[in-house]
Amino acid sequence: MIGWILATAAAVGSFIAYNRLEPTVEPTAAQNKYEFAIVIGDSQSPYVVAHSEYFKAVLWGGGQGIDWLIKALRERSIDRRVGRVAICIGVNDRYPLADPRIPILTNLLKEKFPDAFLFVVQGSWGWGGVSPFTEERVREYYRQFSDNGIKVLEPPIGYGDPHGDKASYKAIGATLDSLFSERLPVTQKGIKPVSNSGITFPAEAGAARENLILQGVKAGDSEYTFSRIISSVGELTAEFKVFSDALIYSGVRVNVNAITNQRIADLLDCMPLTSKLVDLMWQQRTTTILPKPSGQDDARNRTTAEMIAHSVRIDAFLAKQPEPHGLIDTVGKLWILDNKLLASPGMAANYGWPFNGASYQGIVGEKSSTGNWRVIQGIGTRHDVNFTDYSQVCRLVSMNCTVNGVPMRMDQVLSDPKMAMLANRDGVLKVLRQPGA
């Protein structure tokens, strides 16, 4: 196994004790060969792992760059026990473009960790030797890693001196853990494998299809995983657990109406999302999927055939993306809870399909609820509680969360004037479940 202690006290300072993976550690029966997840690179490595449950900083040094990392890796033996490697590198090299060392580093990582998924954490700018650098310039540098098959993680460490507990490290830690959990056995993910893959859905949306899906979830035959997202307001930091992808039943990202969405939430100890949580998911996503409008008419869009076609389009896209996918966004429009529902009896609120830029496929959309991007579907209350179409998927947030490390329930947070802004765009949420459900 690894057993590395590579950084000297002079190189790394006193921020963290030297982390290593003990060579005598063996996975338990409940673990697998991908148990070990490591961060390597420069002095940002320990800050990144400080907010991860699974990753350890084992090969890092203050002030170091790619040349040092390549040399250190060449001196190490092949290790098949590592399943994930995240790299923190670039700031000390001043983010050179057309860097010929990145392919060398990539090949070396694949040689030394042949069973590992590879990721890179985007660095910082606007301080010290990278004072003149902009976010776009830094992102351009990391696109070289993507071109070499290494998954680039969001968000970047960001503007300013990275040597401190920045809020971005919490989000990066959550992203790393969402990538780790995807390879765990299903019994550790909270997923029960689909028990009836031969299900025939009704041809059209309606009560029969809604009931079939609801009964499937009740029987434990649905698939879902959680990813952590982080929200900080003032001195408060919350950690929420959201679906990594849409709910899947019988291999399909199913469409549900707002009533079924709430009833599924009740079964899974979850609740519908808010627009702010949807925005945080886009901001902290690991795998980016742009909206996929069907181009069909309204009648076609309410059919099971189009529900399946939409799910297949997403699967086809994901098949071409580096694994694991972690927090995927966006996979559809979502039913949300919002105070606008107080003035809209009998109606439901939907929101989503974010994109960057002024328009998407000629669609201008609306400004997002809390961010600087746009969404195809702003907070809308035009649909009644029984409406659904191919784009309305089921994504939820767990009722269990933490605020400043203290266990909380979502309804506690959303009802508290001091905490509600962590999860809702306009403070206290007065509609804590879908009316009518």
For residue 220, is it within any domain? yes
Same domain, 168 and 215: no
Same domain flag for 107 and 200: no
- Angstrom distance (rounded) from CA 46 to CA 43: 7
What CATH number should be reported for the domain holding residue 50? Answer: 3.40.50.1110
Q: Which residue has the higher pLDDT, 248 or 295?
A: 248
Q: Does the residue 412 lie in any domain?
A: yes
Same-domain check for residues 165 and 105: yes
Among candidate residues 157, 181, 205, the one where a domain is terminated: 181
What SS3 class is residue 336?
Answer: strand
Same domain, yes or no: 160 and 222: no
* pLDDT, mean of residues 385-403: 96
Q: End-to-end CA distance of the chain, in Å?
A: 53
The answer to whether residue 416 sits within a structural domain is yes
Beta bridge partners of 401: 408
**pTM of the full predicted structure?**
0.69
pLDDT at residue 52, as a whole number: 87
Domain tally, the chain:
2
Instruction: Please tell me the least confidently modeled range out of 10-19, 149-158, 173-182, 395-404.
Output: 10-19
Ranked by mean pLDDT, which of 17-31, 42-56, 382-396 comes out on top? 382-396
Asked whether the predicted pLDDT for residue 408 surpasses 90, the reply is: yes
Domain of residue 405: give its range.
195-422
Could you read off the pLDDT of 332-374 as tens digits, one per residue? 999 999 999 999 999 999 999 999 999 999 999 999 999 999 9
Higher pLDDT, 193 or 302: 302
Residue-level pLDDT at 187: 28
pLDDT tens profile 262-297: 999 999 999 999 999 999 999 999 999 999 888 888
The answer as to whether 364 is a domain residue is yes
pLDDT confidence of residue 180: 62
Whether 172 and 207 share a structural domain: no
Average pLDDT over residues 323-329: 90
Best CA proximity match to 408, nearest among 396, 395, 422: 422
Q: Is the domain of 206 the same as that of 132?
A: no
Whether 108 and 156 map to the same domain: the answer is: yes
Angle between helices 207-218 and 258-267 (to 10 degrees): 10
Q: How confident is the model at residue 310 (pLDDT cuts 50, 70, 90)?
A: very high
Instruction: Note whether 294 and 264 are same-domain residues.
Output: yes
Residues 163 and 209 occupy one common structural domain: no
Question: Has residue 427 been placed in a domain?
Answer: no
CA 413/CA 427 separation, integer angstroms? 10
Task: Strands of 278-373 (E only): list them.
Answer: 287-288, 328-329, 333-336, 349-355, 366-367
Q: How far is CA 187 from CA 31, 213, 324, in A?
A: 11, 22, 18
Last residue of a domain, one of 128, 148, 181: 181
Sequence-distant (≥ 6) Cβ neighbours of residue 205 within 8 angstroms: 255, 257, 302, 303, 304, 307, 388, 389
In one letter, which amino acid is 31?
Q
Task: State residue 19's pLDDT score.
Answer: 33
Chosen domain end from 146, 181, 216: 181
Pair (157, 238) in one structural domain: no
Query: Do both 386 and 240 map to the same domain?
Result: yes
Residue 257: how many CB atoms within 10 A of its CB?
26
Residue 12 has pLDDT above 60, yes or no: no
Q: Among residues of the chain, what percentage have pLDDT more than 70?
A: 88
Has residue 189 been placed in a domain? no
Residues 153 and 227 in one domain: no
Q: Is residue 1 part of a domain?
A: no
More confident residue, 115 or 162: 162
* 152 inside domain: yes
